[in-house]
Structure 1
Amino acid sequence: MQLKAAIDEFILYIEIEKNYSTHTVTSYEYDLQHFLEFLTNHQCSTDLNEITKTLVRRFIRYELSTRHQQARSVNRKISSLKSFTKFCLEEKYLQHDFMTGIETPKTDAKLPVYMTVKDLQQLFHSLEQDRSRLAQRNELMFKLLVTTGMRRSELVSLTWEQLDFTNETVKIYGKGKKERLLPLHPQVMHSNGL
């Protein structure tokens, strides 16, 4: 089987059967298409059973040295390829796992940087004083992020139907389309916009 056809099957599988989020599906597709482009541009076979560990290692080296990709980005591509080969083995598209023994490059462990209470107070004060056209929206967005701990993507996809002002809660659809109910903080409930 050709790599392109197998990628198409895998993308359909994670989108339809696994019900992965649109963002996750897009990321997998991007990573796998990038690998396919690498093979094509370097005149390598795109037959699944002719792909070797050596080709994968060349791809990793190319990403790190020629394209100057960060180790985190390359690690994501490796993870995508591992999931892809697992699927191909289960579906009997592939006879050998060309990802066996491929390790991810080491990354620097970055600790998250948090805002102090004083920084948050300054931010909220600044947002409350803003009189621009989108001021109320911006204030509510930041207050929701800070008080609920929701992800940026969850905030961006938030709809009015998810807000329950009677019970002072917000229903969030997170990673893997998992649902969770979060309380709306008084800071949010008493903002000018609600």
Structure 2
Amino acid sequence: MKLYHAMDEYLMYVEVEKNCSPHTIQAYTFDLRCFESFLKKYGRSCELSDVTSSTVRRFIQDQVLNQKMKPRSVQRRISCLKSFTSFCIKERYLSVDFMAGIVAPKTDKKLPKYMKLAELQQFLRYLENDRHPFALRNEALFKLLATSGMRRSEIVELTWGQIDLNEKTVLIYGKRFFIYNYYLSILVFLFRLVISQH
């Protein structure tokens, strides 16, 4: 079977059966076309059964050294090819997984960027002096974010049922169902003001 026939079948599978987003399908299409272009450029067979682990390693080497791809992009290409070969084996287009033993390069973990204390104080002063209709809400949310260690997603999903103004606590359902109870004496006043304005 020709590689491009198997690729077309795979892309239809991820679109129809796996219901992947258009963005994901576009990325998979691009990654597979890059692999096919590599094979053609270097005169390698485009028969699916002729592709080997060695061919894939040469492809990865080409992406890193010649195309100057970042490790995260290479990881995505490898992930796409692994998914593709799994599909081909499941559909019996392939008998040998040419992605077996292929390991993605490690990526440098990006360190989070933090505000310096002076920057945070300046930002909070700005919020305290803001006269926008949502200024008080914004002040409460950003102070909660800055003083509690809550994640952005936890703040976004916060409900009034999680805030106990009498006990001055906020109940947070964290990752893996951990429950955190933050004591927030400073913010209770702000939350009361927000409530009174709405």
CA distance in 2, matches of 1:53, 1:113: 39
2:79 equivalent in structure 1:
79
Q: Does 1:35 align with 2:31?
A: yes
The question of whether the paired residues in 2 share the 8 Å contact of 1:170 and 1:184 is answered with yes
Residue 56 of structure 2: aligned partner: 56
Q: SS state of the match for residue 95, structure 1?
A: coil
From the superposition, tell whether residues 72 and 94 of structure 1 become closer, same or farther in structure 2 (CA, over 3 Å).
same
Where does 1:43-192 land on structure 2 (aligned, <5 Å)? 43=40, 48-115=48-115, 119-131=119-131, 142=142, 146=146, 147=148, 148-151=150-153, 164-168=159-163, 187=187, 190=190
Answer yes or no: is 1:9 the counterpart of 2:13.
yes
Report how many aligned residue pairs link the two structures. 176
Structure 1 pair 150–189 and aligned structure 2 pair: CA distance change class (3 A): farther
Whether the aligned pair in 1 keeps the contact of 2:75 and 2:105 (CA below 8 Å) is yes
Cα distance change, pair 182–51 in 1 and its aligned pair in 2 (3 A): farther
- One-letter amino acid of the structure 2 residue matched with residue 9 of structure 1: Y
Instruction: Work out the CA distance in 1 between the residues paired with 2:93 and 2:23.
Output: 22
Distance in 1 (alpha carbons) for counterparts of 2:67 and 2:134: 39
Contact 2:10 2:87 in 1 (8 A): no
| Structure 1 length-normalised TM | 0.59
Structure ID, larger Rg: 2
Residue 103 to residue 181, structure 1, CA distance change in 2 (3 Å):
same
Contact 2:63–2:69 (Cα < 8 Å) also in 1: yes
Alignment-mate amino acid for residue 149 of structure 1:
R
Contact 1:171 1:181 (8 Å CA) reproduced: yes
How much does 1:45 deviate?
6.0
**Root mean square deviation of aligned Cα:** 4.4
Which stretches in structure 2 are left out of the alignment for 5+ residues?
A: 164-169
Shift of 1:9: 0.9
Percent pairwise identity: 33
Unmatched 5+ stretches in structure 1: 17-21
1:97-117 CA-to-partner distances (Å, cap 9, x unmatched) read: 121222222433544444456
- Structure with the bigger RCO (C-alpha within 8 Å, sep 6+) is 1
**1:4/1:36 contact within 8 Å kept:** no
Change (3 A) 1:58 1:163: same
